[in-house]
Amino acid sequence: MDIAGLVLGILSVIGAWVVWIPGFGHATVLVTVLLAIIGIVLSAIVMSKAKGKNQPSGYAIGGLILSIAGLVISFAGFIYTVLSFNAAAAASLGF
């Protein structure tokens, strides 16, 4: 499960950067947020199990960091696309 959390974290970061491409914003945000949340949950579960058994949890830490980064970047991209869309709509209406 630790590698699954890391892979989901990597996919969420990649998906978060796709959000910034015009035309891919809204649908990609939903998928990226789901991947990031699942990655955070899996990584947290593995970290708690590894802490109790004194085992290394490097993959889980990496997955947690990447999932959180993917979540933050995707939200920032979503806000950017919404604001730029609203600014373009307001400019076309003459505001």
- Domain boundaries of the chain, sorted by first residue: 2-85
Q: List pLDDT tens digits, range 2-24.
A: 899 999 999 999 988 887 776 67
pLDDT of residue 25: 61
Higher-confidence position of 15 and 90: 15
Record the pTM: 0.84
Please tell me the distance from the alpha carbon of residue 39 to that of residue 5, in angstroms, as a whole number.
Answer: 4
Check whether 92 has a pLDDT greater than 80.
no
User: What does the DSSP 8-state code read for residue 22?
Assistant: T
Sort residue 92 into left (φ over 0), alpha (ψ -120 to 50) or beta: alpha
Please tell me the distance from the alpha carbon of residue 44 to that of residue 42, in angstroms, as a whole number.
Answer: 5
